[in-house]
A and B are shown apart, each in its own frame.
Chain A
Amino acid sequence: MIKNELSMRQTAVIMCVLGAASKLMLWPTSLASACGNALWLPPLVDTAVQTAAVWAVALIGSKTGKTLFELFSQSFTKPVACAIYALLSLFFVLSAVVPMSEQQLMVHEVFYDTIPSIWVFLPFFFFSVYAGSKGLTNAGRTAECCLPLFIVSMLFLLSLAVTECDFNLLLPVLDSPAGDIAKACFGGMHRSINGVYMAVFAGNFRYKRGDAAKISAACATGGIIVSAVCALFYAQYGELALTQYFAVAKLAVFSPVVALVGRLDLIAVYVLDAAILFSIVLNIQAAVYCMYCVTGREWHPLYSLLCNGALFAVTLLFNNSFALVQRAAESYLSVAAAAFTFALPALAWTAYAVAKAGNGRGRTAAAERGGK
């Protein structure tokens, strides 16, 4: 039986680890191109926005103990809730496109010596179909498994990288035009959707006092890790960062350890890739969960097949058009991400207020009836 229950710890780990993992592929290079040595700032800004959204939604969960779907159904009617969740489902599938495309490119470059066939990426879809049909409980447990893998591999890579960095390359601080930085912040919104994830998780774990703060702190930590990686990346390569794709695979190449014993850092990258895989698949799992809420029927692998079918079709269509996909995501999907990030908590609080008012009216009516 597929379960969708999480614990607070699992939610926090998802926010931190899976939230950070998928951003470590091409985003540092894109940021270097967009805003030079200020590339560490957009992850922090996006994370700050998402942390606020996470906190707002988590707080709702503490007050109601219900999922947002139940809350929307209660306050706005079920068709409205279904419409919102259907849009969410579509949004999650589209959110998986960019990290999946980046993963495809990363696989071709980091896992192979020469450009291999497109079919080497096919195992991803098998895995995605399987993992997508597993439910949120499975997502939480796999995130907990990814935590030590993520920590060990990141520590290894960063410790090898930090000795070869020249932090003067990050100076002068905030020299890039504010417009470029703002554009990079906005363009990265489609990558940072922790607030939207939280909307799906809320109500699926038993809230205890202080959990919202812990989850928000975890979300912030993930953003700080991404920012640190970006900073180290630029401190390694300076203006050459624009031509160095897949920062995590390039961070530790200058270490004497690598020169001595070979590309041990690639082993760490492959271990990290497990976390990246789960991070990408989390979008599918969230999309499947939303579909399950919308249809109201029992859990079925067909949901995962449909979501992955759409993803596969996009892959085939845009196989050699990554730049187009990235531009489209930065322009349009970021708008959707921003909309969901701000709208969902607002809707949730509105629904909560409506529900509370409704309960208050109900109690008054009951009291009056009792009085009569």
Chain B
Amino acid sequence: MKKINIKKLSACIYAAVIVLLAFLFFTNDFGLVDIRKTAVITGAGIDVAESGVEVTAQLAVPQPAEDGQTTKYLEVTGGGATVSDALNDINVKTGFYPKLVFCKLILLGESCARRNIIELLNYFFRDDYTHLTPQIAMCAGSAGDMVSSRPAFGSTSTEAIERLLSREAQKSGNVAGVRLKDIGIQTNSRSRACYMPYIVGEGGVAEEEGNASPSDRSDGGSPQESEQGGSGQGKNGAAGEKELVCNRAALFRGGIFAGVLSPEDTFALNALSDNIGQATLSCDVEDRIYSLNLRSCSGGAELRLEDGPRVALAFSALAQITDATGPSSPEADGDGVVHGPVLRDGEDRLKEMFTRLYGELVRLDCDALGVADMLYRGYRDRFDSFGEDVFKNARVECSVSLRSSG
């Protein structure tokens, strides 16, 4: 039998592989979806409808560079029994394959309060190609309307909302920013509670005229266009400009909507979640209102079990007066020291806020501070005796310390 020349055979194999690669290179279409067939979803709004779920996606469609524009944004609504069906509906309508890898915002409409949000968001938790990085928020009214609306600041609603929920905004304590991951972890924890920002759209010129009519959308409506850098005039019946305000938080218990916190309670929640970098607090001392700038903030809730369950709510910060009503003088303002009464008033206000927050959480039966989870993780052996309702039975102790930065 002829001995096989390994070297010649290897050379033939290499040549064949290169020819095959070249063939694939020039003709390849493994059914993959490349950049030209892709619709990038930058934000998605989810509403619950009678037929199931409606998803309004804000699609970014790149434009040829020579036309002077870079990106056109379309809002497309798809419906189905689940979010996955709704996305498939969008594919059917537009021919684009929607990709959620760049989705940075998921907006839940008010109608989602009727359903378990974990069920609604099941698609995002299951899909391997979607990460848990998008920020999530709830809005008043329809999420689809909000996604399609023209914001007062920013070119698209997604961009405007992302700015509202940015890390910088969160550091001010006014916004309770969370990601999809946080919702999942918090709901699956022993506390079974989570919270997310609650967005309200205020104002807006010709709000009713500006919105695309609900009848259009329920037909599986035509996509609405908004162009980046456009003239700012409403086109094709687009929504009027809205001011988006996001200083509240929506609470959920086991995935079910529990209520909405007031702005003050939201601030208190952010302070106790140690999310504040620099915040503003108003104090009223001797008929003068002082605006305090709080820096180097540190807050948290701690569970202690000596003498029964106690929740210690602690907060400390450096304070500086940034503004005040009433007469002032450079000599008085120049020393930079925040005087005792002002600091005490600030501390009292914060204690009051924390206590009120805790009461509200108990009333809504929503352990947003994670007390039950603290019990499970820190005192596992005593979890069974106190149970998941430990936060309702715990005594609240507030400890607030404000120091003058001057």
In the complex, are there CB atoms of A and B closer than 8 Å? yes
- B31 engages A169 (CB within 8 Å): no
- A113 engages B125 (CB within 8 Å): no
A169 to B128, CA, bound (A): 22
Q: Is the interface of A mostly helix, strand, loop or mixed?
A: helix
A126 to B21, CA, bound (A): 13
A245 in the interface (beta carbon within 8 A): yes
Chain A residues 207 to 253 lying within 8 A of chain B, measured CB to CB, are 236-240, 243-245, 250, 253
A259 in the interface (beta carbon within 8 A): yes
- B33 engages A238 (CB within 8 Å): no
A168 to B379, CA, bound (A): 12
Residue on A with the closest CB to B34? A113
Query: How distant is B344 from chain A, measured CB to nearest CB, in Å?
Result: 33
CB-defined contacts of B97 to chain A, threshold 8 Å: 114
- B377 engages A172 (CB within 8 Å): yes
Residue on A with the closest CB to B180? A240
Partner of A117, one of B30, B101, B380: B30
A86-119 Cβ-contact flags toward B at 8 Å (1 or 0): 0000000000000000000000010011101101
Number of A-B contacts (CB under 8 A): 63
Interface size on A, residues (CB 8 A): 29
Query: How distant is B158 from chain A, measured CB to nearest CB, in Å?
Result: 15
Partner of A169, one of B33, B99, B185, B378: B185
B252 in the interface (beta carbon within 8 A): no
Given contacts A113-B32, A114-B32, A172-B377, contact A238 B6 (CB under 8 A): no
Chain B residues 241 to 289 lying within 8 A of chain A, measured CB to CB, are none
A309 in the interface (beta carbon within 8 A): no
- B380 engages A175 (CB within 8 Å): yes
Query: How distant is A303 from chain B, measured CB to nearest CB, in Å?
Result: 13
Partner of A116, one of B30, B99, B376, B380: B30
- B129 engages A114 (CB within 8 Å): yes
Residue on A with the closest CB to B383? A172
Chain A residues 120 to 148 lying within 8 A of chain B, measured CB to CB, are 120, 126
A177 in the interface (beta carbon within 8 A): no
Chain B residues 125 to 184 lying within 8 A of chain A, measured CB to CB, are 125-126, 128-129, 131-133, 167, 179, 181, 184
- A240 engages B181 (CB within 8 Å): yes
A318 in the interface (beta carbon within 8 A): no
Chain B residues 160 to 212 lying within 8 A of chain A, measured CB to CB, are 167, 179, 181, 184-185, 188-189
A169 to B101, CA, bound (A): 26
Chain A residues 162 to 178 lying within 8 A of chain B, measured CB to CB, are 166, 168-169, 171-172, 175
A239 to B190, CA, bound (A): 11
Residue on B with the closest CB to A253? B131
- B31 engages A117 (CB within 8 Å): yes
CB-defined contacts of A117 to chain B, threshold 8 Å: 30-31
- B33 engages A172 (CB within 8 Å): no
B49 in the interface (beta carbon within 8 A): no
B337 in the interface (beta carbon within 8 A): no
B17 in the interface (beta carbon within 8 A): yes
B348-388 Cβ-contact flags toward A at 8 Å (1 or 0): 00000000000000000000000000001110100000000
CB-defined contacts of B128 to chain A, threshold 8 Å: 109, 245
Partner of B131, one of A119, A250, A256: A250
- A126 engages B17 (CB within 8 Å): yes
Chain B residues 28 to 51 lying within 8 A of chain A, measured CB to CB, are 30-33
A175 to B101, CA, bound (A): 35
A245 to B131, CA, bound (A): 11
A301 in the interface (beta carbon within 8 A): yes
- B377 engages A301 (CB within 8 Å): no
- B101 engages A113 (CB within 8 Å): yes
- A237 engages B181 (CB within 8 Å): yes
Chain A residues 146 to 169 lying within 8 A of chain B, measured CB to CB, are 166, 168-169
A301 to B9, CA, bound (A): 11
A161 to B99, CA, bound (A): 24
A175 to B181, CA, bound (A): 23
A332 in the interface (beta carbon within 8 A): no
A114 to B30, CA, bound (A): 10
CB-defined contacts of B125 to chain A, threshold 8 Å: 240, 243
CB-defined contacts of B30 to chain A, threshold 8 Å: 116-117, 119-120
A290 to B285, CA, bound (A): 86
Partner of B33, one of A109, A113, A171: A113
Residue on B with the closest CB to A174? B380
- B376 engages A239 (CB within 8 Å): no
A83 to B129, CA, bound (A): 47
A236 to B133, CA, bound (A): 12
Residue on B with the closest CB to A129? B13
- B126 engages A172 (CB within 8 Å): no
CB-defined contacts of A239 to chain B, threshold 8 Å: 184-185, 188-189
CB-defined contacts of B181 to chain A, threshold 8 Å: 236-237, 240, 254
Partner of B99, one of A113, A166, A175: A113
Query: How distant is A122 from chain B, measured CB to nearest CB, in Å?
Result: 10
CB-defined contacts of A250 to chain B, threshold 8 Å: 131
Residue on A with the closest CB to B380? A172
CB-defined contacts of A166 to chain B, threshold 8 Å: 185
Interface centre among A171, A245, A256 (most CB of B within 10 A): A171
A117 to B133, CA, bound (A): 28
CB-defined contacts of A238 to chain B, threshold 8 Å: 184-185, 188-189
Given contacts A172-B376, A250-B131, A301-B6, contact A112 B32 (CB under 8 A): yes
CB-defined contacts of B376 to chain A, threshold 8 Å: 172
CB-defined contacts of A301 to chain B, threshold 8 Å: 6
Chain B residues 188 to 238 lying within 8 A of chain A, measured CB to CB, are 188-189
Partner of B179, one of A109, A112, A114, A254: A254
- B377 engages A168 (CB within 8 Å): yes
Residue on A with the closest CB to B379? A172
CB-defined contacts of A113 to chain B, threshold 8 Å: 32-33, 99, 101, 129
Given contacts A113-B33, A113-B129, A253-B133, contact A240 B188 (CB under 8 A): yes
CB-defined contacts of A116 to chain B, threshold 8 Å: 30-32
Other A-B pairs beyond A113-B33, A250-B131, 17, CB < 8 Å: A112-B32, A113-B32, A114-B32, A114-B97, A116-B31, A116-B32, A117-B30, A120-B30, A168-B377, A238-B188, A239-B188, A239-B189, A240-B132, A243-B126, A256-B167, A259-B133, A301-B6
A-B contact pairs, 10 of them (CB 8 A): A109-B128, A112-B32, A114-B33, A114-B97, A172-B378, A239-B189, A240-B132, A240-B181, A245-B128, A254-B181
